[in-house]
Amino acid sequence: MSADLVQLVTDLARRARAASLVLATASTERKNAALTRLAELLPASTDALLAANAQDLAFARENHLTGAQIDRLALTPKSIAHIAEGVRQVAALPDPVGEELERTVRPNGLEIRRIRVPIGVIGIIYEARPNVTIDCAALCLKSGNAAILRGGKEIFHTNVALAALVTTALADAGLPKDAVQLIPTTDRAALTTLLKLDTLVHCIIPRGGESLIRFVTENSTIPVIKHFKGVCFVYIDRDADPEMAEKIVINAKTQRPGVCNAAEQLLVHADVAEGILPRLAQALLAHKVELRCDPAGAAILQKHGLAHRAAEPQDFTAEFLDLIMAVRVTPSLDDAIATINRDSSAHSDAIITRNAATAQRFLAGVDSATVFWNASTRFNDGFEFGLGAEIGISTDRLHARGPMGLRELCSYKYLIAGNGQVRG
């Protein structure tokens, strides 16, 4: 690894740390002024952004990226306006910093207050999506955190152009321009260097595929909040309303199959499988969903002449992100809970039942970030939760679990006031 590169990334992180101390006590008005300015600059800079984006698109075409991959990279005047609107929404959210979370007075007279404060310096490692650059910059800024952004190389020129707008907006609002910095190289060694700077950077959030997250987890000495995969289950209980079950399964599987809160796995209670599965399978097939079944499920579909294939073992823990669903028949609620706790990614799992006692056992027993009763797994989302915006959906159990909004981008500190107390 070149000494120059190590120096470059270390200096960048030092500047981020210094900026974070200023940002931590910056007023809400000043932070919102920077966000509002950024929201103005984005559409006003459409030509420059599209020109930078064209460089990335040309590179993508030369390197034979798929059409879907290229679509994800592309900026348009409309997508730029949409990104700017997201920034305005973040500006409109309440400032999480400074909120008093607790106050107690101890018998010795010490007053102990717990106050929400920014985490400090957050490194965001993500793949090739231009909106992420601005979304993350806006959320970190509003929550008083300095951000170090490291986007995918496929979108490098676009990110440089976007980051320049953030720098301008910060400066125009009188905030340190180093509060949001893009790592100015696509060299992988820059990332490896960053992940070891644990005295300057306080948190790493990787957003992307499994191999990126695995790389970050294995190489970071900085605490990482993972946004991992969603192997999400819907369990149709013996006491399910068949129509509701169908409506929810179709929505959870097909409304947007490529996202982490889409359902991948279906469990049906054996007592109702014969009654519910054929019609449900028909509806899924009508939505072009391929069904990969266990022997019991396959036997039922076979009898009704419905298309399916035998599941391979790995299908039962798969995140397909596609119009594919694995199907199993389960003998009991307890078996369903145990299956989910073993095979799901503990992201978003649902039960469909009219039986409240059964639902309570499922909600208590399923060890997942979000557990649904009679609702689609697709609702596991910061906007749907009313958080206003999210930096992602944490699959970790420490600090933040499930949708991460502004509040989850904060830590806390204790402020203690006395009048000369000493410990005896």
Pick from 44, 58, 110, 310: which binds a second copy (CB under 8 A)? 110
Pick from 66, 104, 211, 314: which binds a second copy (CB under 8 A)? 104
Q: Does 67 bind a second copy (CB under 8 A)?
A: no
Q: Does 255 bind a second copy (CB under 8 A)?
A: yes
Are residues 356 and 376 in contact, defined by beta-carbon separation less than 8 angstroms? no
30 vs 40: CA distance, rounded Å: 15
Are residues 129 and 155 in contact, defined by beta-carbon separation less than 8 angstroms? yes
Are residues 104 and 112 in contact, defined by beta-carbon separation less than 8 angstroms? yes
Q: Does 401 bind a second copy (CB under 8 A)?
A: yes
| End-to-end CA, the chain | 53
Q: Which is nearer to a second copy, 327 or 404 (CB)?
A: 404
Tokens of 300: 């039922």
Shortest spacing between CB 256 and a second copy, in angstroms: 8
Give the side-chain half-sphere CA count within 13 A for 93: 26
Shortest spacing between CB 375 and a second copy, in angstroms: 3
DSSP string, 291-346: EEE-HHHHHHHHHTT---EEPPGGGGG----SSEEEEEEES-HHHHHHHHHHHS-S
CA distances from 293 to 254, 272, 317, 342, 343 (A): 18, 16, 13, 18, 15
Q: Does 203 bind a second copy (CB under 8 A)?
A: yes
Q: Which stretch binds a second copy (CB under 8 A): 147-155, 176-184, 217-225, 319-327?
A: 217-225
Tokens of 139: 């959320």
Pick from 6, 24, 65, 81: which binds a second copy (CB under 8 A)? 24
* 355 alpha-carbon distance from chain centroid: 32
Q: Does 103 bind a second copy (CB under 8 A)?
A: no
Pick from 2, 7, 25, 302: which binds a second copy (CB under 8 A)? 25
Q: Which stretch binds a second copy (CB under 8 A): 30-38, 86-94, 215-223, 320-328?
A: 215-223
Residues in binding contact with a second copy, number by CB under 8 A: 67
Q: Does 100 bind a second copy (CB under 8 A)?
A: no
Q: Does 275 bind a second copy (CB under 8 A)?
A: no
Q: Which is nearer to a second copy, 87 or 146 (CB)?
A: 146
407 vs 400: CA distance, rounded Å: 9
Contact flags string 315-354 toward a second copy, x per CB under 8 A: --------------------------x-------------
Q: Does 171 bind a second copy (CB under 8 A)?
A: no
Shortest spacing between CB 152 and a second copy, in angstroms: 23
Q: Does 215 bind a second copy (CB under 8 A)?
A: no
Q: Packing angle between helix 77-92 and helix 130-142, nearest 10 degrees?
A: 20
Q: Which stretch binds a second copy (CB under 8 A): 57-65, 72-80, 146-154, 384-392?
A: 384-392
260 vs 380: CA distance, rounded Å: 9
Q: Does 87 bind a second copy (CB under 8 A)?
A: no
Amino acid letter, 331: P
Residues 191, 197, 201: CA angle, nearest 5 degrees: 95
Tell me if residue 89 falls in helix, strand or coil.
Answer: helix
Q: Does 420 bind a second copy (CB under 8 A)?
A: yes
Q: Does 7 bind a second copy (CB under 8 A)?
A: no
Shortest spacing between CB 212 and a second copy, in angstroms: 14
Phi, psi of 266 (to 5 degrees): -120, 130
Sites of contact with a second copy (CB under 8 A): 21, 24-25, 104, 106, 110, 112, 117, 119-120, 198, 202-203, 217-218, 221, 223-225, 241, 244, 247-248, 250-252, 255, 341, 359, 363-365, 367-376, 378-380, 384-386, 396-399, 401-402, 411-423
